[in-house]
Amino acid sequence: MLDGFKKFILRGNAVDMAVGVVIGAAFAGVVTGLTSAFLNPLIKLATGGGEKFSSLEFKIHGVAFPLDVFINNTISFVLIAAAVYFLVVLPINTLLARMHKDDKPAAPATKKCPECLSEIPIEARRCSHCTQPVLGRAA
């Protein structure tokens, strides 16, 4: 039972996902701190300073909808998504492309019969469907 668990946990996908979740949670805290400590004051300056930004809301039937929370979360999401893409996805895709650059496609195992266009083995000298002689290895 433990052997199967060990194989599962040591597969690349499970370990990668666990690392990604931990790093993502830590990074979310950093971005939230950046947004509240740096970007909120910049937005307050852009909107005229004071408490305008933190009181940015609209009301429907007396129910307040705070827009500042939505704007902060949107900025945090965009920053996290950009960081994950440029710091994780793009380098991994580049690395995988370099690793698989030397892989050559497998040689074809079949060819088309010039007469009936059915698939036949590459070494066949006669089509198994129409019995037409097939010359060479050309398709």
How does pLDDT run along the chain (139 residues), one tens digit per residue? Answer: 677 776 766 666 766 777 778 888 888 888 888 877 887 777 777 767 665 555 677 788 888 887 777 777 788 788 878 887 888 778 888 887 887 777 677 788 888 888 888 888 888 888 888 888 887 654 4
Cβ-contact 127, 116 below 8 angstroms: yes
Q: What is the pTM of this model?
A: 0.48
Q: Catalogue all structural domains in the chain, each as residue range(s) with its CATH number.
A: 2-99 (1.10.1200.120), 106-139 (no CATH)
**What gap in Å lies between CA 22 and CA 31, rounded to an integer?**
14
**What gap in Å lies between CA 76 and CA 2, rounded to an integer?**
40
